[in-house]
Structure 1
Amino acid sequence: MKRLAELVLESATDYAIITMDLKGLITSWSPGAENILGWPREKIIGKPIDHIFTPEDRAKDVPSKELGNALTHGRSIDERWHCRQDGSTFWASGEMLPLLEDGQPEGFLKILRDRTPQKRAEELQHLLTQELGHRIKNMIAVTQSIVNQSFRNAEDIPTAKKAITDRLAVLSSAQDILLAGNTDGTPLADLLAKSVAVTEDVTRGSRIKMNGPEVHVGPRAAMSIALIFHELLTNALKYGALSQAEGWVDLSWRFGDLKGVPALDMVWTENGGPAVVAPTRTGFGSRLVQSGITGTRSVVELEFAPQGLQCRIHAVLKDIQEN
């Protein structure tokens, strides 16, 4: 029977099975314990069970409390981080039981199982849920603003409907890129290409020349950038360079600085269009452009030059990439 018990212990390599005396000193150490925790049996026998607890838990006297709970309640169940010999940590599901002889405690039995993959999966799921909730709230807020402002500035219902439809199409297009799952963020070149492509006359896209280094932007900034450049495009199609057959647009970006902080400079320059006249009223589109990139430290400069509108946006690079 003793040999059978030894065989069970030796084969249970997915579980750490440890016994201790009443002082919490380790008296036996299974092959599974060595596999999970790293200490060879000969180097851990006689050591306090405290060794496998994190410094934070040792400071809170968690090992002694676990022993006490086992004696008081007949068992102590816990899920917490534990330490390996090399200093790394793992998430363990564990149970502490008192060992009884004639009804009297003679020591303790602790069984641990490494549950780190499950813990990491739970943490990732929680993070993704929070991120999804955050994005949904942002999308709802942006959508509400688009609808309200489009109706407020439209001359009639069909005009408002067209403005809302176009702007929501841009949001949808930007969201498609965000959902592609690039962990480094959204490629700015792809985002801008999608933003300027959402027009009735897609052939005009060939007259928009884009150029700039590879750079990725965060989700909140991506939606804001998409909307800003859609507004510039819409204005160019109605009144600016793209309203003329020979007109064209330069859309470029480069790394620069904003008040000594690394920044991204984006420039929209119209050429070959009708003479530019500064607007006499500020609509939703103009306010959206002039407000800059949401969630970033940014500066917008609009120049109504005779040869065509120029819009320069300077935004702190870190803000664009993280927001």
Structure 2
Amino acid sequence: MVQLELRKALREKSDEADTQRRLSESRLAQTQKMARADEERKLLNAELSHRMKNTLAMVLAIAGQTLKDVIERDAVDAFTGRLQALSKAHDVLLRENWSSAEIAEVMLSVLTLHADENRRELEGPKVTLGPKAGLSLSLLLHEPATNAIKYGSLSNETGKVSVKWSVDDSGGGPILSMVWTEIGGPEISVPIRRGFGSRLIRMGIAGTGDVEKSYLPTGFTATFKAPMATVQDIGS
């Protein structure tokens, strides 16, 4: 009787061990499957991003060749400059498989096209942007930077541009606030002509349209605001 109970206990123990082994093997197989799927997704995203980057470079080259004989160079320069700003933001997004970008990196990638290190100031907390906001911000910053070179603080030898940002949590939801300030430039006035660049500025960050502009004698300033939920959206 004792031997029968012992054999029964051993069988139950063996069955339990087999069950645990099968569960462990199943979990391991599932984990490996998920890891392979994640790796395939990363490879696919990298390939797509690489092709998009090559396509953008090709567009720039075609634009340069197609428009090289155009007499009105301002429009051509504006077009190619915006493409270059998008390309820089694309490079930043590519590092994170097109899922996000740090706001400071996007700003720096664009402003290096326009201002040396000693003529730009960036200050603010770490903020992660979604792809749409990253691209939007690159175009947005390109416009006042270009204007600063033509008419504002970057048109002389000593002026600077300052970009400061913060996140306000005091309201119903966190709000990103970004302030563009020009320092040490010539006296300016409100522009009479407003083109596509002005429209891009009025659209604000990610198209929110929350923009306040001031054409002060000391220089152009603008404050842009957008909900963090909008700027961090990773959707299409």
TM above 0.5, yes or no, is: yes
C-alpha deviation, 1:312, in angstroms = 0.4
Does 1:177 find its partner at 2:99? no
Does 1:254 find its partner at 2:169? no
State how far apart, in whole Å, the 2-side matches of 1:279 and 1:258 are. 35
- Report if the CA contact (8 A) 1:258-1:314 is conserved: no
Among 92, 102, 126, the alignment partner of 1:187 is: 102
Aligned counterpart, 1:197: 112
Aligned counterpart, 2:130: 218
Aligned counterpart, 2:23: 37
C-alpha deviation, 1:129, in angstroms = 5.1
State how far apart, in whole Å, the 2-side matches of 1:182 and 1:197 are. 23
- Report if the CA contact (8 A) 1:166-1:198 is conserved: no
C-alpha deviation, 1:181, in angstroms = 2.3
Larger relative contact order, structure 1 or 2 (CA cutoff 8 Å, min sep 6): 2
C-alpha deviation, 1:120, in angstroms = 4.8
- Report if the CA contact (8 A) 2:211-2:224 is conserved: yes
C-alpha deviation, 1:207, in angstroms = 1.4
More strand by share: 1
Among 209, 214, 235, the alignment partner of 1:303 is: 214
C-alpha deviation, 1:259, in angstroms = 5.6
State how far apart, in whole Å, the 2-side matches of 1:264 and 1:34 are. 51
State how far apart, in whole Å, the 2-side matches of 1:133 and 1:301 are. 37
Among 274, 288, 294, the alignment partner of 2:200 is: 288
Number of matched pairs = 212
C-alpha deviation, 1:134, in angstroms = 10
State how far apart, in whole Å, the 2-side matches of 1:191 and 1:298 are. 20
1:82-128 per-residue CA deviation (whole Å, 9 max, x = no partner) reads: xx9xxxx859xxxxxxxxxxxxxxxxxxxxxx354224533664587
Query: Is the partner of 1:261 in helix, strand or coil?
Result: coil
State how far apart, in whole Å, the 2-side matches of 1:300 and 1:132 are. 37
Bigger Rg, structure 1 or 2: 1
Aligned counterpart, 1:278: 190
Query: Is the partner of 2:138 in helix, strand or coil?
Result: helix
Compute the TM-score of the two structures, normalised by the length of structure 2: 0.72
Question: What's the C-alpha RMSD, in Å, of the aligned pairs?
Answer: 3.8
1:1-323 matched pairs, under 5 angstroms: 33-37=19-23, 114-122=29-37, 125=40, 156-181=71-96, 185-199=100-114, 202-203=115-116, 205-256=117-168, 260-294=172-206, 297=208, 299-323=210-234
More helix by share: 2
State how far apart, in whole Å, the 1-side matches of 2:82 and 2:165 are. 23
- Report if the CA contact (8 A) 1:267-1:312 is conserved: yes
Which range is displaced more, 232-241 or 169-178? 169-178
Residue identity opposite 1:231 in structure 2: E
Residue identity opposite 2:21 in structure 1: N
Matched-pair identity in % = 33
State how far apart, in whole Å, the 1-side matches of 2:27 and 2:209 are. 43
Are residues 238 and 248 of structure 1, via their aligned partners in 2, closer, same or farther at CA, if it must alter by over 3 Å? same
State how far apart, in whole Å, the 2-side matches of 1:293 and 1:270 are. 19
- Report if the CA contact (8 A) 1:301-1:312 is conserved: yes
- Report if the CA contact (8 A) 1:257-1:316 is conserved: no
Which range is displaced more, 179-188 or 207-216? 179-188
